[in-house]
Structure 1
């Protein structure tokens, strides 16, 4: 049994229930996490220092808290292993002692300083990293470029609650980076200046800016884009033809509206087709309940290669700002309004869409009318999957007076009636999944 760590090729060392890993965590036993973090540091050191250099470590992931001396022990152990052994995919997930909900601006600056000192003390560990996830840091203007220049092999970078100050600029250049995730950044704009291997980008909850949140420079391989934000009065409308003007290679597009207002402008196919010509999969997540879905057809009009379309309709009360009614009203969160859309070619035919998936289906005019509209234009549709509302353990049992109960068809007669209303001649193509 004692020989087992020396024989394994993959290692995942982690502090359990790290502070800050759950967004709602506010209070925790610091002494317990300190002890656990120390254990992780010494286990990592023992395993890596006693392994046979001839046995390749195919995957090494270490999740730890940014605190001395533990992080230095981890960093130097990993650096030594990289220098003396074959180490494949190495990954650091670094969190801070304070969670973001209680971090002051001074805390964010201090976390960044701690990390920069760590980076400077253990450059060998970072030089071989393939994935890096940082949280709760406010960097100087040159810090992130320095991180990228040190992490020469980095393929995936995730920044959560990291920035360089309010309305700051983040410019990224890297030869190997294939994946970028930014969560809750206070950047005015993230410029993807030169990332020749970048394939996937996710930007969640950017802050208000008069500019688009992303600028795409040289990103010839970018194919997957995910944007997530709750729309309000201050949210800038995204014009996809402008945002994606330099990236006509998007094949997968995921837009998450977080159960609030639409922040994407429905555009004419003439403007959009040049940037959506290669789009094959689109996900429209968390559209607000009770609003017309017809406006989403503008994507179908502009994306002739589209194969699959997935829509989720859900008032997810956990992620919505429901407690402060006045705040919602003042910032325009309460305004549920249908988006105006009319087909530019009423009789257009789409030949490649074969699958439509809807979560949150209800047997009303909104959903039935939308599906009928899609069927009218998608002449080769092969599968329609209809799911009941998604269930959240935290908000799934709301008072019926507050939230209407689901009317998802449960029996054969109810489902047969829906199929008849849709006018579908092949009932087998419709799947009801509660």
Structure 2
């Protein structure tokens, strides 16, 4: 007896099937046309087009050589032109286009002109992710200057296309003094801007001012200073690894909700006072990363200015605090943030990303003294909002006193999660040989640590010793260094 399987998916209405296909890239959506006759008419009905040059790379390839990059980019350009040409007279509207391609002379200009042609018929949002054929590790200043000039030629040749850009991701570019202001002025609908491994003219101040920009990502960029003049809709900002003393000036950012700041602090850099760093901003969610090096935050007594900056904080994650540092300094956050509900600490010497050679560290001005000292001005303060304390890299020989103190001052604390050091296959061997972590490994040791934590203090908090591979999705997401991206 032959079993006939019903095509339940194929019986769905066109609009539902198109909604499903809209979540695929163009190549995957096009392949569905071979499933059945009725599927053939669906790809031309897509409202969102996602075209990524990396989808044209053979799955077996691990790296791309220059000839392959040129060939794949050219193929993508021809596919893009063909798709858009067929959609010019199509009654089904396109709402957005997400395009990822390599920065190459004629290819980019062809893409820009094709996009402008379709924009004359359809009102669409454009997303551009512009890649360079050299990655950041192989880009010197001359390469970045060449890429910067090439991008600006592309930009100047496609003003209408960039006028429709809502998301722009750029890498490995050198900008002239007026390039970024010109880009922002042309991309009037821009909502997300990502700059990775970019630089600017020496001593130039990068001015960022835009009426619609809501997300700003600046990672490993060599800018002398970034000035956020007026960003009335900015809600999310990530600023990662600066190389100058005072890299960021925050102006008018009234809606700023989420901030992630990370730095390799060198010996010559002064500690940053967050009350001055944030200016008039008052975020709700704050990630501060220390990259296993010197603490770059200056603990502060509670002043009117600091209280204003921290007044809305509900979540703080202090990431990659170097091992062996006294954690007492973190109490200034508890004192100044009355609405703080969750405090996460990741204490980790991540050896495979650290510079450990003493001569190299000295030559690059890395600091050997990584901790910071601070004594609370209010020894008897109480924190009434904190409900959750999470520590990754808990050490039972040096952190018991810190956890006890948090349990004492956080009078409504409900849960304390104490995790082992985070796993890393690349640096695990070095840990095993040189840096054993004193973490309770069995029930007897956990019971002993538990007694030390709770003895003679009044706290109803529940202490957990969870297994790292059982970390909840919620805690894993909150620990991430790139939040809400």
Whether TM exceeds 0.5 here: the answer is: yes
**Deviation for aligned residue 1:332:** 4.8
**What is the aligned partner in structure 2 of residue 339 from structure 1?**
372
Report the RMSD for the aligned CA atoms in angstroms. 2.4
Q: 1:372 to 1:13 in 2, by over 3 A?
A: same
Q: CA deviation at 1:398?
A: 2.8
2:413 and 2:460 in contact (8 A); partners too: no
Is the partner of 1:369 in helix, strand or coil?
helix
Per the TM alignment, residue 277 of structure 1 is displaced from its structure 2 partner at its CA by 1.2
1:277 to 311, 314, 321: 311
TM-score, length of structure 1 as denominator length: 0.90
| Whole-angstrom CA distance in 2 between matches of 1:121 and 1:337 | 49
Aligned with residue 79 of structure 1, among 110, 116, 125 = 116
Equivalent residue for 2:97? Answer: 60
Q: Retained in 2: the 8 A contact 1:161–1:184?
A: yes
Runs of 4+ in 1 over 4 A off after TM superposition: 424-429
Contact 1:386 1:433 in 2 (8 A): no
The equivalent residue for 1:413 is 444
Q: Distance in 2 between matches of 1:18 and 1:375?
A: 55
Give ranges in structure 1 of 5+ residues lacking alignment.
Answer: 20-24
The Cα offsets for residues 44-83 of structure 1, whole Å up to 9 and x where unpaired, read as: 2222332364434344321110003222222222222333
Structural mapping, 1:344-359, within 5 Å:
344-359=377-392
* Equivalent residue, structure 1, for 2:46: 8
Query: Paired residue for 1:172, among 208, 214, 233?
Result: 208
Match for residue 200 of structure 1?
236
CA distance in 1, matches of 2:438, 2:310: 35
Q: CA–CA distance in 2 between the matches of 1:46 and 1:388?
A: 54
Q: In structure 1, how many angstroms separate the alpha carbons of the residues matched to 2:461 and 2:253?
A: 44
Return the offset for 1:233: 0.7
Single out whichever of 328-337 and 219-228 deviates more from structure 2.
Answer: 328-337
Please, which of 390, 399, 418 is the counterpart of residue 386 of structure 1?
A: 418
Equivalent pair of 1:234/1:331 in contact (CA under 8 Å) = no
CA deviations over 1:199-244 (Å, ceiling 9, x no partner):
12211111123xx211111111122221111112122311111112
Distance 1:332 1:97, change over 3 A: closer
Q: How far does residue 429 in structure 1 lie from its aligned partner after superposition?
A: 4.8
Pair 1:303 & 2:337 matched: yes
- CA distance in 1 between counterparts of 2:420 and 2:313 reads 27
In structure 2, the residue matched to 1:321 is: 355
Contact 1:53 1:85 in 2 (8 A): no
Structure-2 change in CA distance of 1:395 and 1:18 (3 Å)? farther
Distance 1:237 1:399, change over 3 A: closer
Q: Which range moved further: 227-236 or 414-423?
A: 414-423
In the alignment, what sits opposite 2:154?
A: 118
Please give the alpha-carbon distance, in whole angstroms, between the structure 2 residues aligned to 1:371 and 1:165: 47
In the superposition, the TM-score normalised over structure 2's length comes to 0.81
Change (3 A) 1:5 1:195: same
Which range is displaced more, 254-263 or 99-108? 99-108
Stretch moving more, 46-55 or 259-268: 46-55
* Alpha carbons of structure 1 residues 303 and 28: separation in structure 2 relative to 1, 3 Å: same
**Alignment deviations for residues 357-377 of structure 1 (CA, whole Å, 9 cap, x no partner):** 111122222x22211111111
Conservation of the 8 A alpha-carbon contact between 1:166 and 1:186: no
Question: Which stretch has the larger CA shift, 91-100 or 73-82?
Answer: 73-82
Of the two, which has the highest radius of gyration?
Answer: 2
Larger strand share, 1 or 2: 1
More helix per residue? 2
Residue 299 of structure 2 aligns to a residue whose secondary structure is coil
Aligned to 2:430: 398
The answer as to whether partners of 1:385 and 1:433 remain within 8 angstroms in 2 is no
Report deviation, 1:177: 0.5
Alignment CA distance shift 1:399-1:374 (3 Å): closer
